[in-house]
Amino acid sequence: MQSEQTVAEMANEVLTRQAESEAERSGEPIEEAMGAVVETEAGKQLADLRDGPHGEEGVEEWQVGLAQERAQERAEDLGGQLGEVPEHPTHG
């Protein structure tokens, strides 16, 4: 991964490496191997990432944004859990 690389370039690079490995292993043409790779769950996720709304973002920028989103989700989850503290019965 290169610092100036886009998300699409990074995902395509990984897909290409996987397809090359598959083609070498199976003896099939690279195009067919790429089709097989993209049909796997990981391949579908990489293709979605490559073709999705963040494809043209820089990898570092995307990673920072992703980390911020995850931190926000964790904070919201924690806040929801803290808000669910059971009430203590009063002694009368």
CA 43 to chain centre: 11
Domain residue limits at 69: 7-82
90 in any annotated domain: no
30-to-20, 23, 47 alpha-carbon distances in Å: 6, 5, 16
What is the pTM (predicted TM-score) of this model?
0.66
50 in any annotated domain: yes
Helix (H) or strand (E) holding 68: helix 59-82
Instruction: Give the pLDDT of residue 62.
Output: 82
31 in any annotated domain: yes
2 in any annotated domain: no
pLDDT in tens, 66-77: 888 899 888 888
Using CA atoms, how far apart are residues 33 and 30, in angstroms rounded to an integer? 5
Instruction: Give the pLDDT of residue 2.
Output: 61
Query: Cβ of 6: how many Cβ atoms within 10 Å?
Result: 18
Q: Which stretches of the chain drop beneath a pLDDT of 50?
A: none
92 in any annotated domain: no
Q: What mean pLDDT value characterizes the chain?
A: 85
In this structure, what are the phi and psi dihedrals at residue 56, rounded to the nearest 5 degrees?
-95, 0
88 in any annotated domain: no
Specify the number of domains making up the chain.
1
pLDDT in tens, 20-31: 999 999 999 999
Cβ(15)–Cβ(37) below 8 Å: yes
